[in-house]
Copies of this chain bind each other. A is one copy, B any other.
Amino acid sequence: MGYDPSSFPAFAVTVDVVILTMSEGALQVLLVRRGEAPFEGSWAIPGGFKRPAETLDEAAKRELAEETGVDAASLLTQFGAYGDPERDPRMNVVTIAYLAVLRDVGAVVAGTDAADAALVPVSDVLNGDIELAFDHLQIVRDAIDRVRVELEVTGIATAFVGTTFTLAELRAVYEAIWGVQLDAANFRRSVVADDGWVIPTGRRARPGPAGGRPAELYRAGRAWSHGGPIHRFPRTWEVKA
């Protein structure tokens, strides 16, 4: 690497966080309304400059805390870097994108550096109903792609629900993110067969307003480094090229 250490192209480095949660049966993303140019007034995913003394992971954790008040997310993973020269009209900015999964945050607190913040359904973002600043639409798309495979390959699903949950709630996570319908009985079998992933508490949940047999309450057990209990794709795979 033959270069002069003192003369290198300088870039701004930011960390952006796609914060996902389940709310009202749908997958939601936390957006902030930009308070200044460029893209003043439009929605964006929260983020900010990396500080010279912190790591990327620390920067992501800090941004998440500033925006939501949550200091420890259920999950916070880096999933991509974006550095197109024109992605920020002001200057050359390289951003490292993180995916955060939170159990439903009731009241979203607007962070220190955002004029406004809101949870919006990801479907509204993906189909273009809500326009995002910069290349944030692409970043959100990539985040969704990531969470979809993460759901299959790790035990990430429990990160979306509370500390105690019913199997129906857990099933709703898969159904919302994958956009499929899962058989309740078969789902239960797969999940409890995966010994240790969910642990029955012995307590039961109150049935909803429609009645029905009260569901058993579970809590999250161990996570998986590779291989979750539920799989999509009946065995027909999609073609890329």
Q: Tell me the A residues contacting B by CB distance below 8 Å.
A: 1-3, 5, 8-13, 34-36, 44, 47-56, 59, 78, 80-85, 90-92, 94, 96, 112-114, 149, 153-154, 194, 196, 222-228, 233, 237-241
CB distance from A81 to the nearest CB of B (A): 4
Kindly state the separation between the CA atoms of A140 and B113 in the bound complex, as whole angstroms: 37
Query: Which one, B36, B49, B84, contacts A9 given CB within 8 A?
Result: B49
Report chain B residues within 8 Å CB of A92: 52
Asked if residues A240 and B227 are in contact (CB atoms below 8 Å), the reply is no
Query: Which one, B9, B13, B91, contacts A94 given CB within 8 A?
Result: B13
Report chain B residues within 8 Å CB of A225: 237-240
Asked if residues B36 and A2 are in contact (CB atoms below 8 Å), the reply is yes
Q: How many copies does the complex hold?
A: 2
Interface class of chain A by DSSP: loop
Kindly state the separation between the CA atoms of A226 and B237 in the bound complex, as whole angstroms: 7
Report chain B residues within 8 Å CB of A114: 1
CB distance from A138 to the nearest CB of B (A): 12
Kindly state the separation between the CA atoms of A47 and B3 in the bound complex, as whole angstroms: 11
- Return 21 A-B CB contacts under 8 Å, by A number: A1-B35, A1-B47, A1-B48, A1-B114, A5-B91, A8-B12, A9-B12, A10-B10, A11-B13, A11-B94, A52-B92, A56-B81, A56-B94, A78-B80, A81-B96, A194-B237, A223-B240, A224-B237, A224-B238, A226-B237, A226-B238
CB distance from A38 to the nearest CB of B (A): 9
Report chain B residues within 8 Å CB of A228: 237
Kindly state the separation between the CA atoms of A204 and B49 in the bound complex, as whole angstroms: 58
Query: Which one, B8, B53, B194, B227, contacts A85 given CB within 8 A?
Result: B53
Report chain B residues within 8 Å CB of A239: 196, 222-225
Asked if residues B223 and A241 are in contact (CB atoms below 8 Å), the reply is yes
